[in-house]
């Protein structure tokens, strides 16, 4: 029987945290999350860059002149403070809230991985909820690619190198590190679809009698996955790729819409996709 170090690692995407039609933060989402997050949960949150972009526009009346890597850095640095302040506002005051900014090299180094794991384990014991985000404000794409290339040269092309190219991968890496019982991915759709253009083709379960069968079915489902919720995102196909290591650890993966409560997604009271050994 699998032994888990935490109950749940959850992740929410950028587009689920804003109201596109109003170009503003969706405070209802934050309020719903804040009412349910508690120690024993680890939360991976996108949103800093998008929230920073909205905030910059509100204060200046224009966007930055270009949408290059420098703009992403500047928006992320501005949005990170707002993201954390908003979580702090809505999470129960009886719990501490701790920001954890990570980068790819932290998970590719054994001592740093161990350091992060101990930090997250202490949070559970100290009545605290960690909010994790990739550190876009200081991570340059070109430098990251060079570092990853050097790691592959040193360790060999077959070595498993963590890139953390988005927070879906970050959440999966954290779930693997912590051997979480559940990995919950909250998105702007109800789950994985056989046909992404047809909402009636939602796949409610990807399972098998053992891990090999589950992974085979996951790879089959990847063939149906195209597109993403926004430019630069990696979509359902990448999500399914990242999820394979947590699945191998015995983690149950749930993908569902951010409009729902965490409990309802976990218990299956709403539409979702659940992945694991049956």
Q: Tell whether 1 is covered by a domain.
A: no
pLDDT in tens, 221-267: 887 765 544 444 446 777 788 888 999 999 999 999 999 999 999 99
d(CA 153, CA 232): 27
Give the residue, 128 or 105, on which the prediction is more confident: 128
The answer as to whether 172 is a domain residue is yes
Residue in 27, 82, 98 with CA at minimum distance from that of residue 49: 82
161-205 tens-digit pLDDT = 566 567 888 999 999 999 999 999 999 899 999 888 898 999 999
d(CA 112, CA 117): 9
At a CB cut-off of 8 Å and minimum separation 6, what does 241 contact?
222
Bridge partner list, 18: 25
**In Å, what is the CA distance from 167 to each residue of 37, 65, 127, 171, 181?**
18, 26, 24, 6, 19
Residue 119 falls inside a structural domain: yes
- Per the structure, the complete domain to which residue 222 belongs is given by 6-277
Q: How many domains does the chain have?
A: 1
Residue 140: other Cβ atoms inside 10 A: 14
Write the CATH number for 107.
3.40.1160.10
Residue 158 maps to a domain: yes
Q: Is the pLDDT of residue 154 over 80?
A: no
- pTM score of the predicted model: 0.87
- Residue % of the chain over a pLDDT of 70: 85
Span 85-105, average pLDDT: 94
The answer to the question of residue 92 being in a domain is yes
Residue 138 lies in a domain: yes
Q: Taking residues 99-106, what's their average pLDDT? A: 87
Could you tell me if residue 210 is inside a domain?
Answer: yes
Report if residue 139 sits inside a domain: yes
């Amino acid at each position: 029987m699998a032994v888990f170090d935490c109950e749940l690692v959850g992740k929410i995407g950028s587009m689920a945290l804003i109201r596109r039609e109003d170009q503003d933060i969706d405070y209802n989402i934050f309020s719903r999350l804040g009412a349910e997050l508690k120690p024993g949960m680890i939360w991976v949150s996108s949103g800093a860059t998008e929230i920073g972009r909205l905030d910059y526009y509100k204060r200046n009346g224009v966007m930055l002149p270009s949408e290059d890597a420098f703009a992403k850095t500047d928006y992320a640095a501005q949005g990170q403070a707002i993201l954390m302040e908003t979580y702090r506002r809505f999470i129960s005051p009886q719990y501490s809230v701790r920001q954890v900014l990570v980068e790819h090299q932290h998970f590719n180094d054994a001592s740093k991985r161990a350091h992060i794991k101990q930090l997250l384990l202490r949070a559970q014991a100290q009545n605290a909820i960690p909010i994790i985000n990739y550190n876009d404000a200081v991570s340059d794409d070109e430098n990251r690619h060079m570092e990853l290339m050097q790691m592959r040269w040193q360790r060999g092309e077959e070595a498993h190198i963590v890139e953390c190219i988005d927070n879906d991968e970050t959440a999966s890496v954290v779930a693997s590190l912590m051997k979480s019982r559940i990995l919950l991915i909250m998105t702007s759709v109800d789950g994985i679809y056989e046909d992404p253009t047809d909402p009636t083709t939602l796949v409610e379960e990807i399972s098998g009698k053992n891990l090999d069968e589950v992974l085979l079915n996951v790879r089959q489902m990847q063939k149906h996955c195209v597109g993403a919720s926004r430019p630069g995102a990696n979509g359902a196909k990448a999500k399914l790729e990242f999820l394979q290591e947590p699945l191998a650890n015995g983690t149950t993966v749930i993908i569902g819409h951010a409009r729902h409560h965490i409990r309802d997604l976990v218990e299956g009271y709403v539409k979702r996709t659940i992945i694991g050994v049956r």
